Structure formats: structure tokens, C-alpha cells
């Protein structure tokens, strides 16, 4: 994807030098830098609370492998 960003002149100059030294493009330098940055980020995981129910299991005649019959039952057919 093409985009335009404003980068500090010295930072861009350093990126150009790195690209020449590594024999790659500035695009590759920028992509690698972003990948490296995001690989060190940690995601916050919030606990999820699930409500559970107890019971006698499925009603007779319910087949969880048959989505059409489940739809019919839920629609009251």
C-alpha cells in the first residue's frame, strides 16, 4: 500500500544509509522496523466471564450436526 509520511531528515538519511549497506530498499528497512517494533508489543488480555448452565443435556431428537433441523426447531417448525 502506498502512503506518505513525514520523517525526520536525519532519520531518513540513516534509513537510506542502512538500505545501501544492506543492499535493500528503504521500503524494506521501514517494513522490517515496523515488524520489529510490533513484535515486541504485548497485547493486554482481559479475562472473559462466561455464563454456564446446567441441565439434562439435549432434548430428544436434537441433532447438532444438522443445521437445517436446528433452524427449524428454533423457528418453531
The predicted pLDDT at position 60 comes to: 82
Instruction: List all residues 6 or more positions away from 70 whose beta carbon is below 8 Å from its beta carbon.
Output: 62, 63, 64
Give the pLDDT confidence of 4-13 residue by residue, as tens digits. Answer: 899 999 999 9
Smallest CA-to-CA distance from 16 within 6, 27, 5 is with: 27
Domain-wise residue ranges, the chain: 9-39
Give the pLDDT confidence of 22-55 residue by residue, as tens digits. Answer: 999 999 999 999 999 988 877 777 888 888 888 8
Q: Which three cell numbers stand for residue 41?
A: 508489543
Given a contact cutoff of 8 angstroms between Cβ atoms, the answer to whether 16 and 26 are in contact is yes
Amino acid at each position: 500500500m502506498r502512503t506518505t509520511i513525514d520523517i525526520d531528515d536525519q532519520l531518513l538519511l540513516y534509513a537510506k544509509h542502512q538500505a545501501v549497506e544492506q543492499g535493500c530498499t528503504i521500503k524494506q528497512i521501514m517494513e522490517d522496523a515496523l515488524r520489529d517494533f510490533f513484535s515486541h508489543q504485548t497485547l493486554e488480555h482481559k479475562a472473559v466471564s462466561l455464563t454456564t448452565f446446567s441441565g439434562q443435556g439435549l432434548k430428544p431428537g436434537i441433532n447438532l450436526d444438522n443445521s437445517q433441523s436446528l433452524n427449524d426447531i428454533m423457528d418453531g417448525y
